[in-house]
Amino acid sequence: MAGADRHDGPVELDGSEGEGGGQMLRSALSLSLITGRPFHMTRVRAHREPPGLRPQHLACVRGAEAISGGRSEGAAVGSSELRFEPEPVRPGDYVIEVGTAGSTPLLFQCLFYPLALAGGGSLTLRGGTHLPHSPSYHYVVGVWLPVTRAYGLHTSLRLMQAGFYPEGAGEFFAEVEPVRDPPSRVELPARGTLRDISVGSFVGGLPFSIAERQSRAAVAALRERGIYSHAENRPLPTTRSAGSVTFILAQFENTLAGFTALGERGRPAEEVGREAAEDLARFMESGGALDEHLGDQILLPAALLAAGKLGPASPGTTRYTTERVTEHLTTHARLIERFLPVRVTVEPGGAVEVVPA
């Protein structure tokens, strides 16, 4: 239950450790809400330019305050230091504005776990839905969502408006359910046999021919490597935002993997399709069961399972292999261990284990 570990005291965090980006702040907010432990972070986003809080990170702080009644100090654009004091998360329905270029999927991933553990509710999030350096809405639906379901965490998503960089102006709705039926363990050592590859090509506020060119290029690039796929082109609803995206979903016997490429002004549509195909081809050459992004994102539900936060589940162990060990992954692992009684082991070859401490 969120807020159950308040007596364990505040957590001191150095935001310059490891990859030193915004993920440390988002995960710290999520874990603070879940455990009830306040935190103090210095040198926030020290390795980014510009460093400190940006509007999209401030939106995560405001979102954490909104669902819990928590309090913060230092929550201002440019601030390099933040204190956050959570209160128990309140089930309910929330509407949160992220801003023009802020990522709604990243905010959603920050707030989803605390809200689910508190009993559920709904989130209407407004801002960017398909942005650089962020999981796309389609990645969240196609890859992240099925994995969280494996942990007994359920939500349904609906895209109201797509929001592309730099205008944003997107919106999606999430119905978050209470936790139910957690597994006793999750084992994903190998992806298994390839079963299907689908190429999704989407445009919002642009000629539909761009979507067709993107998908043709992606399918052709995969075929050149002996990988066969099928494609679907669709328009996305938008307001003042315009853009395009190619999302490739690979379904294996045991796992899923997703690869996103975004269009940008002056960039040929064919290049966008080829980029997503090349990312998939590189993944196929690796031995990992999970793509590098999911290999990082699965850590949090795995840690909640190991810590008993999802309910009684013995031994509560997660084991998997990831495409690539990134600094993002190792930094995230160390942060989680500061909040929860778990041990995360990351081997150089990509094997990851999350167990009770």
Shortest CA distance to 237 belongs to which of 129, 105, 125, 98? 129
How far is it, in rounded angstroms, from Cα 153 to Cα 162?
Answer: 25
Number of neighbouring beta carbons within 10 Å of residue 296: 21
Number of neighbouring beta carbons within 10 Å of residue 136: 26
Strand order in the sheet with 342-346: 185-188, 317-321, 351-356, 342-346
**Confidence (pTM):** 0.94
**pLDDT grade, residue 235 (50/70/90)?**
very high
Number of neighbouring beta carbons within 10 Å of residue 186: 20
Contacts of residue 39, Cβ cutoff 8 Å, sequence gap at least 6: 10, 11, 12, 13, 28, 32, 83, 84
Checking DSSP bridges between strand 82-85 and strand 194-204, what pairing results, if any? unpaired
Q: What DSSP letter does each residue of 64-129 carry, written as one string? A: HHHHH--EEES-STT-S-EEEE------EEEEEE--TT-BHHHHHHHHHHHHHHHT-EEEEEEEBS
Residue-wise pLDDT for 148-183, tens only, equals 999 999 999 999 999 999 899 999 999 999 999 899
Q: Which residues have a catalytic role annotated?
A: 328
Residue-wise pLDDT for 55-111, tens only, equals 889 999 999 999 999 999 999 999 999 999 999 999 999 999 987 778 999 999 999
Q: What residue ranges define each of the domains in the chain, with the CATH number in brackets?
A: 1-88 (3.30.110), 91-181 (3.65.10.20), 194-285 (3.30.360.20), 287-357 (3.90.1070)
Residue-wise pLDDT for 197-233, tens only, equals 999 999 999 999 999 999 999 999 999 999 999 999 9
How far is it, in rounded angstroms, from Cα 14 to Cα 51?
Answer: 13
